């Protein structure tokens, strides 16, 4: 049996002996702090989020342990723009309609009767690290459901069908601006709007996408979208529509508020002549990213642990203060395309005093996670898509 492919908990059950468990726990394959290692807390602790965001249930990077590669359901972050809607699973239906040859609706039993597939995927909110109070809107789970592509193909796209819209059961009031008529002033009214996001037909039929009803082997929790959500492993959290009730195929781009209004990245981009031009682009696909998660000490020897995700990760490098970039040891996750990778670097004997620790991920295409000074980050005037390199500060006694 290949021990690298089973979780520590499985190993404990299968080994059935405390000695084996201890040996396993100390194995270098399971980094992220074994017994004897003590946390050295970062000096730059995040401030508390504003009250409306208090229920986010953020990941605490410094509390991660050897078991933390999978985030337990009760520790998984939660974002719901309109709160958690009440959905009665017994009456719930998923409707597939619009520009399809065979519109139909599924109840939960019909969805569960379809072929089952699982994916380990690290879901990150596109606002993560965009604010000082939001460093933990991320988690890694084993999601279970049925491939979306087969359901869409069975519905059959009509020739004019271009875009697939995913509607949640949750809705809220969104402002609509209008001009009443020639010479009239601008006005605004509020309109009920369901949470919705879209993808092109090609993106929606990506074999990675799941109609998901299970999270880490348990029924999907209400806060995470039960009875059914979209899991779209190449995308930021926002596209992973929860409480899914309707899928509509339309002939033009979808312009709902979470697609075309609220989730835009605005940049002030420098032009060669010294002027700037303001751009707006949609937030959607995940971006290459890493963080230094925690520092530990054991017998005077320090170690930096972290994670990397958002693109196919090739390697991670770590820099202390203005020193050289040093390669990290990749510990866990390599075999899971869409899951975060855990890594560590030894920091044998740091000098006493304050230090800055920065990590950067490099993907398989050779792209490097941008520095904060990189134009893609420095020109940003909104907080989404904050995938710039992250620096943490620590004091060594």
Q: Which stretches of the chain bind ligand MTE, using CB under 6 A?
A: 76-81, 123, 125, 168, 170, 195, 224-225, 237-238, 240-243
The pair phi, psi for residue 312, each rounded to 5°, is: -65, 110
Stretch near Mo ion under the rule CB under 5 A, chosen from 69-77, 119-127, 254-262, 270-278: 119-127
Task: CB nearer to ligand MTE: give 78 or 380.
Answer: 78
What is the smallest separation between the CB atom of 184 and ligand MTE, expressed in angstroms?
A: 34
In terms of Cα–Cα distance, which of 363, 356, 108 is closest to 226? 108
Helix (H, G, I), strand (E, B) or coil at 32: coil
The position carrying tokens 């520095």 is: 371
Which of 69, 77 has the CB closer to ligand MTE?
Answer: 77
**Residue among 125, 155, 210, 283 that touches Mo ion (CB under 5 A):** 125
User: Taking the complex as a whole, how short is the minimal distance between the CB of residue 241 and ligand MTE, in angstroms?
Assistant: 5
- Which of ligand MTE, Mo ion, none does residue 292 bind (CB under 5 to 8 Å by kind)? none
> Looking at beta carbons only, is 286 or 296 nearer to Mo ion?
286
Q: What is the number of other CB atoms lying within 10 angstroms of the CB of residue 338?
A: 21
Q: What is the chain's percent helix, strand, coil content, to nearest 5? A: 15, 40, 45
Pull the structure tokens for residue 30: 């399971």
- C-alpha to C-alpha distance for 374 and 379, rounded to whole angstroms: 8
Number of residues lying near Mo ion (CB under 5 A):
4
Site map (CB under 5 A) of Mo ion, residues 60-99, x = contact: -------------------x--------------------
Which of residues 237 and 292 has its CB atom nearest to ligand MTE in the complex? 237
Question: Distance between CA 70 and CA 59 in Å, rounded?
Answer: 12
Q: Which residues of 187-217 are buried (b: 16+ CB within 10 A; e: fewer)?
A: eeeeeebbbbbbbeeebbbbebbbbbbbbbe
Q: Which two tokens stand for residue 7?
A: 């979780």
Pick the stretch among 103-111, 232-240, 258-266, 373-381 that binds Mo ion (CB under 5 A).
232-240
Which residue in 237, 306, 333, 370 binds Mo ion (CB under 5 A)? 237
Residue number, 124 or 331, with CB nearest to ligand MTE: 124
């Amino acid at each position: 049996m290949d021990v690298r492919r089973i979780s520590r908990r499985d190993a404990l059950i299968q080994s059935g002996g405390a000695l084996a468990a201890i040996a396993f726990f100390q194995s270098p394959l399971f980094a992220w702090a074994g017994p004897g290692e003590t946390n050295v807390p970062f000096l730059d602790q995040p401030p508390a989020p504003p009250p409306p965001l208090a229920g986010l249930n953020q990941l605490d990077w410094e509390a991660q342990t050897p078991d933390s590669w999978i985030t337990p359901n009760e520790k998984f972050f939660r974002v719901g723009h309109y709160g958690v809607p009440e959905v009665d699973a017994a009456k719930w239906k998923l409707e597939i309609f619009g520009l399809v040859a065979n519109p139909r609706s599924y109840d939960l039993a019909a969805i569960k009767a379809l072929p089952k597939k699982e994916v380990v995927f690290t879901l990150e909110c596109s606002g993560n690290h965009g604010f000082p109070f939001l460093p933990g809107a991320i988690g890694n789970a084993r999601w279970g459901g049925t491939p979306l592509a087969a359901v869409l193909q069975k519905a059959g796209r009509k020739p004019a069908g271009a875009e697939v819209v995913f509607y949640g059961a949750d809705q809220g009031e969104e402002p609509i601006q209008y001009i009443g008529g020639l010479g009239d002033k601008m006005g605004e009214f509020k309109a009920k709007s369901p949470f919705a996001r879209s993808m092109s037909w090609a993106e929606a039929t990506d074999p990675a996408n799941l109609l998901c009803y299970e999270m880490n082997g348990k029924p999907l929790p209400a806060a995470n979208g039960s009875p059914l959500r979209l899991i779209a492993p190449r995308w930021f959290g926002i596209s992973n529509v929860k409480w899914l009730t309707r899928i509509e195929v339309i002939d033009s781009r979808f312009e709902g508020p979470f697609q075309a209004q609220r989730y835009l990245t605005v940049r002030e981009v420098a032009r060669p002549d010294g002027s700037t031009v303001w751009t707006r682009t949609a937030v959607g696909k995940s971006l290459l990213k890493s963080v230094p998660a925690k520092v530990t000490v054991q017998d005077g020897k320090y170690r930096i642990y972290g994670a990397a995700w958002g693109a196919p990760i090739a390697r991670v490098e770590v820099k202390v203060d203005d020193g050289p970039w040093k390669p990290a040891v990749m510990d866990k996750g390599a075999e899971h395309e869409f899951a975060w990778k855990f890594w560590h670097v030894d920091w044998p004997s740091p000098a006493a005093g304050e230090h800055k620790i920065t990590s950067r991920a490099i993907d398989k295409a050779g792209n490097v996670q941008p520095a904060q000074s990189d134009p893609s980050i420095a020109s940003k005037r909104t907080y989404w898509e904050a995938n710039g390199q992250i620096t943490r500060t620590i004091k060594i006694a």
